[in-house]
């Protein structure tokens, strides 16, 4: 059994999300462990489990369905993205699963290419190339780079339709998507300042932390620091909370997807936290 965490650039339309879910689960090729949708981000994160080979087929069907139903030219979310199915990482939970995850990610890339979408690899499959490098400037800039020949898809057509975009594929260990909401009267500028300080490379930088500051309009302009923790053993979520709280009071937290239980070591029980589930509890 392998895990995949495909992210689609739609966070509000239940009909679209139901269609994508049905595509993933067709023929029982994958089981949906979790779905996290966010209208402000314009994004839904699926956590899937499936057998080798069958999981890749599920990702290919999901990519085709997302491309049919999602028009990036009408996208309104604040989360960086370059595709209708934006990323499709296959996750290995322990070192012994790494070869199978690498093979499944390449099989998924081939399946996605078969439905006419360009695929760009990142992480260990692309000599360490990052999602941020590929997303820089958004889908319009990605399409321009591909058209100019300065960036060549690893699978699929050598062009990017800006309405459907490209799919970023990787094999990686667990990554924890984690959001912290700052207490009022914090503004989006405060969230951006905090994000710049705590992300790796910042003045108070934490190892393997990616962070941006956002405004959640659906909640009246709440300022959010949206983060990815790339190594939860080296950087547990409790340490992230403490670092942000030193710079601006934290009012609430949100976990996106299903982190391993070890990510919650020492986590503050008094912090209101949405979505606090673990991968182990869902398997």
Go through the domains of the chain in sequence order and give each one's CATH number. Answer: 2-172 (3.30.990.10), 176-282 (3.30.70.670)
pLDDT at position 220: 84
Res 219: pLDDT: 82
Across the range 17-36, mean pLDDT stands at 98
Q: What is the pTM for the complete model shown?
A: 0.95
Kindly state the tokens that stand for 87.
Answer: 């990323």
Catalytic residues: 79
Share of the chain above pLDDT 70, in %: 100
pLDDT above 90 for 206: yes
Quote the pLDDT of residue 53.
94
The per-residue pLDDT for range 217-271, each reduced to its tens digit, is: 888 899 999 999 999 999 999 999 999 999 999 999 999 999 999 999 999 999 9
């Amino acid at each position: 059994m392998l895990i995949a965490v495909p992210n689609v650039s739609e966070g509000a339309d239940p009909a679209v999300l139901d269609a994508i879910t049905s595509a993933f689960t067709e023929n029982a090729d994958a089981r949906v462990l979790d779905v996290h949708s966010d209208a402000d981000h314009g994004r839904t994160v699926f956590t899937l489990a499936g057998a080798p080979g069958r999981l890749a087929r599920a990702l290919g069907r999901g990519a085709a369905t997302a491309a049919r139903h999602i028009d990036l030219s009408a996208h309104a979310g604040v989360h960086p993205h370059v595709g209708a199915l934006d990323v499709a990482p296959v996750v290995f939970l322990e070192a012994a699963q790494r070869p199978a995850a690498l093979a499944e990610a390449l099989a998924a890339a081939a399946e996605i290419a078969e439905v006419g979408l360009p695929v760009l690899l990142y992480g260990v499959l692309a000599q360490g190339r990052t999602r941020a490098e590929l997303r820089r400037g958004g889908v319009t800039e990605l399409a321009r780079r591909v058209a100019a020949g300065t960036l060549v898809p690893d699978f699929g057509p050598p062009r990017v339709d800006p309405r459907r975009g490209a799919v970023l594929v990787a094999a990686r260990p667990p990554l924890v998507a984690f959001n912290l909401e700052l207490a009022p009267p914090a503004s989006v500028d405060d969230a951006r300042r905090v994000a710049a300080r705590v992300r790796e490379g910042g003045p108070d930088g934490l190892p393997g932390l990616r962070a941006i500051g956002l405004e959640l309009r659906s909640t009246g302009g709440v300022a959010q620091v949206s983060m990815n923790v790339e190594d939860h053993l080296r950087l547990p979520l409790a340490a992230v909370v403490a670092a942000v709280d030193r710079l601006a009071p934290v009012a609430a937290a949100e976990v996106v997807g299903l982190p391993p239980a070890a990510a919650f070591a020492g986590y503050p029980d008094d912090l209101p936290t949405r979505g606090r589930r673990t991968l182990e509890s869902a398997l």
